[in-house]
Structure 1
Amino acid sequence: MAAAAAALMKNGHLKAHLRHHSLHRFLQQSTKHSIPDPPVSAHKKMGNHLRHQFQQCKWCSPFPHFISRKTKELQFSAPTKISSIFSPRVSSSSPKFGLVGWYLGMIQTRPIATKSITSAFIYTVADLSSQTIAAENSEGYDLVRTLRMAGYGLVIIGPSLHYWFNLVSRVFPKRDLLSTLKKMALGQTVYGPTATTVFFSVNAALQGESCSEIVARLKRDLIPTLISGIMYWPVCDFVTFRFVPVHLQPLVSNSFSYLWTVYLTYMASLAKVSSS
């Protein structure tokens, strides 16, 4: 009985071996008649081998998806970041150009108010400097006089400079040499004498001087002041009209007017002239 069972088991193993051998020969014959694979370069074989090893590594398997996702994010975000660096809005709001950018924005949105406040500030500093240089009052600064100068810059000079420079730029839109000389001539013959006359008259009226006293003051101080202005303002006007944009011309003119206002406030503080 045991011998018969051993014979059956041996026969079963033999049949299984024959089936495996015939299947192996069939696969070899089908492989010979199949289309061969295209040749693979050495670099591609090496890359496939390294990729296979990298995928086999359990702790490295999350990295390919992570790297590709970060690469896509960088591709989409890089142009936005680069363009934002060179955009005017970001550059003007940076800490280095924050104050300048804010001031330029205020000139564009609220030009008259910005230029008026700038004029008031310059006239205030100029009057304090004039009082410091003169040092006539040992009791301290005349703050009422400083408020008069600040009010003149706020109410008269700031708005008038805004409209004057816009008018001149419309009459002579070019910034060549001939147009610049024409603008300078208009400033010396129209705006300068008018602004100086108004300044002396308003300042004297706020000090309580009568009309005859104001006229006497103008006869005494107006001509010498205009002569001094002819010696000072042409160079300033040439730089302003020739090289500065229209919306920044009042700022540059006020900057030049600092020294001029120191002299002007000194002339306005002279004793009044007797009407007789």
Structure 2
Amino acid sequence: MNKIKNIKLALIPYLFKWLFLTIIVGILSGSASAIFLKLLEWATETRKTHSVLILFLPIGGLIISLAYHYFGKEVAGGNNLILTEIHEPKRVIKFRMAPLVLIGTVGTHLFGGSAGREGSAIQMGASLADQLTQIFSLNKSDRKILLISGIAAGFGSVFGTPLAGAIFGLEVFVIGKMSYEAIFPAFLSSIIADEVTRNWWHVHHSVYHVTHIPEATLLNIILASFAGIFFGLAGHLFSFSVEKVKSFLTSKVKFAPMHAFWGGLAIVLLTFLFDT
């Protein structure tokens, strides 16, 4: 009986602490996602209206890479840096990751490059959340939970999927030891961030309607299984190709920012070659 009472007493400060922290994380991440989505919408519409912008992709890529080279070496690891800090905490992620990834991704979209929004949202959410580590002098265990909350909030708010955001944030612990203490903060921060994006900033997400759902027949299940195999092989081929191209560029071009220039130039040439 006393044990149950002690657990309840310990639960109260835990709830209040993480309620307070996740509200801050949710507001910061939700606001960052809202600004990010608004700027992405502007960049996309501008690019569609002025197709000539594709010609500036090599220069745009070079400028963005130079910014990372001179001002963002400590945060250039991106998602890998965040995962490393969760599993092997060393130092607080620099705040500069958030503005660098925001400007870099929007700039890439503006000039016709390809950059996913999920990675950007995760990096913004995690870097903004990690600033609270120093402000409130959190220990390593709490910092892990804070980073997971930032990831969940960033992912959930940028796509308008708070449940998926929370689960995604918790998945980063699969490599190590699952922390049940992170479940409440992850879900709450993701929900708050989504509410901030939708209702505070009035930013709405794309809605995709599924017009046809195939029957769960044996044949369809077999076909889906084969499709999964080919999708996996395609993903593996893509990852393999990226590593090979990266290795080739690194061996031939020593100054890293020039990689983006040559990559952008290749995209421009392919765009005109295939008339897309």
TM range (shorter): under 0.3
TM-score of the two chains, using structure 2 as the length reference: 0.27
Higher relative contact order (CA 8 A, sep 6+): 2
